[in-house]
Amino acid sequence: MNDAPLSPELRDELDRSLRAGLRALGLDADALAPRLLDYLALLARWNRAYNLTAIRDPRQMVTMHLLDSLAMHPFVGDGTLADLGTGPGLPGIPLAIAKPGLQVTLVESNGKKARFLREAVRQLGLSNARVAESRAEALDEPAAYANLTARALATLAGIVEVGGHLLQPGGRLLAMKGVVPHDEIAALPAGWRVEVVHPLKVPGLDAERHLVVVRRD
């Protein structure tokens, strides 16, 4: 796992692209870009052997992983967040890097991905992130979180079914979606309602993104 796929020239190119995107999102590029690039380099290196993500081009990873994850940052406060089915740590690790006051639990049942997550947390020195190697529905931490998020996990009703027990009273599900999922919203179970749908703009991405905020009635 020591072969680094990012040459100095490529890292410089990625750094420029990432900093421009961070500035467009209103984030501190100088503070965040180095650690985010360290995470991207680690992900690209492990991805060679373990196929953690289908996106293999680091240039695409900047936009579709890092900036896409961070587009929701204005709507995530400090407190606790469980990132369900986080895969290689998306959006949980970028959010933990950008928001030191946020305590993030990275929930992932796949052993290879969980191993990568533990190594990423260790190498990045993320004292505000922990890994729970578990299926969301099996995580025995009832009402432990102010926020849940899921970037690519099931429908809204499916997320509520497997992770709703983790939310505190008054907590929020922050579901990252493409187009507004009207059918999914209509299919939410009784006792759950959409509070607001925020349109998101991901720098460099010509596609719709929305953050659907769901609360328990």
Q: pLDDT by residue (tens digit) across 110-119? A: 999 999 999 9
Instruction: Note whether 124 and 19 are same-domain residues.
Output: no
Confidence (pLDDT) at 2: 39
CA distance 215 to 169: 9
Instruction: Note whether 86 and 163 are same-domain residues.
Output: yes
Confidence (pLDDT) at 3: 45
Q: What is the pLDDT of residues 4-19, one digit of tens each?
A: 568 899 999 999 999 9
Instruction: Note whether 97 and 44 are same-domain residues.
Output: no
Instruction: Note whether 83 and 177 are same-domain residues.
Output: yes
Residue type, 24: A
Let me know if residue 172 belongs to a domain: yes
Domain ends where: 66, 83, 113?
Answer: 66
Let me know if residue 1 belongs to a domain: no
Instruction: Note whether 15 and 83 are same-domain residues.
Output: no
pTM score of the predicted model: 0.95
Q: List strand residue ranges (DSSP E) for 112-208, in order.
A: 129-132, 145-150, 167-177, 192-200
Domain total for the chain?
Answer: 2
Instruction: Note whether 57 and 157 are same-domain residues.
Output: no
Q: Which two tokens stand for residue 29?
A: 């590029």
Q: Which domain holds residue 183?
A: 75-216
